[in-house]
Amino acid sequence: MDQKLEGVYDAVVARNPGEAEFHQAVREVLESLGPVIDRHPEYLEMKMLERICEPERQIIFRVPWMDDKGEVHINRGFRVEFNSALGPYKGGLRFHPSVYLGVIKFLGFEQIFKNSLTGLPIGGGKGGSDFDPRGKSDSEVMRFCQSFMTELYRHLGEYTDVPAGDIGVGGREIGYMFGQYKRITNRYESGVLTGKGIAWGGSLVRTEATGYGTVVFANEMLKTRGESIDGKKVMVSGSGNVAIYAMEKVRQLGGLPIGFSDSSGYVVDEAGVDLDLLKQIKEIERGRVSDYAERRESASFSDRGSIWDVPVDVALPCATQNELNGEQAATLVKNGVKAVAEGANMPTTPEGIHVFQQAGVLYGPGKAANAGGVATSALEMQQNASRDSWTFEYTEERLTDIMVNIHDQVATTAESYGAPGDYVMGANIHGFEKVANAIQAFGLV
């Protein structure tokens, strides 16, 4: 890291103790910005970095709810409204036991730059709770979501803050929260939440968007070396929306997805993943990946080792943060991986990123490669604002154009700063400059 930025990072760590994920996300961005500060010293003088690293608003609240047995539970809710320089706060809600303030701040910080890269007028925010929807009945999830929204609603609005889903928050949870928001406010404000059902204001392609976009980005990276997804073996971690629809897009582009995972282990299917079977198990039955292996003769399940031990041409980490470490990255490189594109937020550790870059592997960071989800959320906001509904084909075309444009902007920025092919530097610098210029235009606010 540039020496002029070390002090900024040290101050962030001191100001936000114990928030390891947030520290990691900030460091990853600051390590790219030395050349920007050399070119624009006014950013340092105006404390632009400190202003971007400090959330505009942090909201923490109690969420009481009752289970089906009548027992009372207390969870903690969060919404970090990080930066609104480019538009209303935009970012998902995550329901998972691992959620605490540091995770939400890391996700919100990443969201600032991701949203900037889309070219759409949206700021960065994130929220969620340490509630675990897994194993809960629909009634329990509904009661939790209603209690959560009873507090959160006062901070939302289509011109203020527009949440979406994330881990543990899908169409069911969005529906319960939107219903409670509508009940409390007496307004059918479609644009206040994205990821809604198609019948009540949602956007076609939103479910598929993050996975589709990640694969489009990977394909664009491969094109810079005269290759494509076509004919490539692809491994995808995770088995939720992002992973499933990443594999679907891989199929559409001629590639062969051969594996996926969840917290219990991973599946390898050398014949190619049967997506209809996987969707049945994960989306309808809410089962485990081991269920897939039991019902598919060509598949095997393992709860030992790592999904990244399997030789593939393309790796798409689509599960959660810091799931791919330096040792696993070295194994992928040894086995001949050509490209890595992140479908999750910060799934590769700093050591893993270093391994990929040193080996010359094409590496697309999440803030660029998985921006398709939030881009399509912004397209959903456009449809809601105009009381319109777009076709699947038109929306997917818009998504593809956005992802190709993100790739090209990131690649061009990296080259203009003397680091051709460095998608990390390109994404961080391009995202930062756009936000910093807007902040500067607004004065000291």
Backbone region of residue 258 per phi and psi (left: phi > 0; alpha: psi in -120 to 50; beta: other values): alpha
- pLDDT at residue 368 in the model: 97
SS3 content of the chain, % helix, strand, coil (to 5): 50, 15, 30
| HSE-CB for 288 with a 13 A CA cutoff | 11
What residues make up the domain containing 107? 55-186
319, 342, 369 — which closes off a domain? 369
- pLDDT at residue 16 in the model: 98
Q: How far apart are CA 364 and CA 82, in angstroms?
A: 24
Q: How far apart are CA 317 and CA 319, in angstroms?
A: 6
341, 369, 397 — which closes off a domain? 369
Task: Tell me whether residue 14 is in a domain.
Answer: no
To which residue do tokens 């031990």 refer?
309
To which residue do tokens 């009372």 refer?
72
- pLDDT at residue 146 in the model: 98
Domain match, 178 and 217 both: no
Residues 6+ apart with CB under 8 A from 273: 247, 257, 258, 259, 260
Q: CA-based diameter of the chain, in Å?
A: 63
Domain match, 87 and 144 both: yes
Which residues on neighbouring strands pair with residue 340, listed in sequence order?
315, 363
Domain match, 108 and 172 both: yes
Residue 214: Cβ-neighbour burial (10 angstroms; 0-12, 13-18, 19+) = buried
DSSP H or E stretch at residue 272? none
- pLDDT at residue 215 in the model: 98
Task: Tell me whether residue 177 is in a domain.
Answer: yes
Task: Tell me whether residue 388 is in a domain.
Answer: no
- pLDDT at residue 1 in the model: 86
- pLDDT at residue 370 in the model: 96
Task: Tell me whether residue 312 is in a domain.
Answer: yes
The CATH number of whichever domain residue 136 belongs to comes to 3.40.50.10860
Domain match, 230 and 330 both: yes
Backbone region of residue 265 per phi and psi (left: phi > 0; alpha: psi in -120 to 50; beta: other values): left
Domain match, 344 and 266 both: yes
Domain match, 167 and 311 both: no
CB 247 within 8 A of CB 211: yes
Domain match, 341 and 223 both: yes
CB 77 within 8 A of CB 144: no
Domain match, 357 and 217 both: yes
φ/ψ (deg, to 5) at 80: -105, 110
DSSP string computed for 421-444? T-HHHHHHHHHHHHHHHHHHHT--
Which residues on neighbouring strands pair with residue 364, listed in sequence order?
341
Residue 126 known to be catalytic: yes
Domain match, 106 and 249 both: no
Task: Tell me whether residue 47 is in a domain.
Answer: no
Task: Tell me whether residue 43 is in a domain.
Answer: no
The beta-strand segments (E) located in 178-337 are 233-237, 256-262, 265-269, 299-302, 314-317
- pLDDT at residue 278 in the model: 97
Domain match, 181 and 260 both: no
Task: Tell me whether residue 45 is in a domain.
Answer: no
Q: How far apart are CA 189 and CA 147, in angstroms?
A: 19
Residues 6+ apart with CB under 8 A from 274: 292, 296
Q: How far apart are CA 112 and CA 105, in angstroms?
A: 11
Task: Tell me whether residue 226 is in a domain.
Answer: yes
CB 302 within 8 A of CB 266: yes
User: Which one of 126, 232, 249, 282 is the catalytic residue?
Assistant: 126
Domain match, 67 and 212 both: no
342, 369, 396 — which closes off a domain? 369
To which residue do tokens 């080996």 refer?
359
Task: Say what the pTM is.
Answer: 0.93
The CATH number of whichever domain residue 305 belongs to comes to 3.40.50.720
Domain match, 211 and 325 both: yes
Q: Give the pLDDT of the chain (445 residues) as one tens digit per residue.
A: 888 899 999 999 999 999 999 999 999 999 999 999 999 999 999 999 999 999 999 999 999 999 999 999 999 999 999 999 999 999 999 999 999 999 999 999 999 999 999 999 999 999 999 999 999 999 999 999 999 999 999 999 999 999 999 999 999 999 999 999 999 999 999 999 999 999 999 999 999 999 999 999 999 999 999 999 999 999 999 999 999 999 999 999 999 999 999 999 999 999 999 999 999 999 899 899 999 999 999 999 999 999 999 999 999 999 999 999 999 999 999 999 999 999 999 999 999 999 999 999 999 999 999 999 999 999 999 999 999 999 999 999 999 999 999 999 999 999 999 999 999 999 999 999 999 999 999 999 8
Domains: count for the chain: 2
- pLDDT at residue 283 in the model: 87
φ/ψ (deg, to 5) at 3: -60, -35
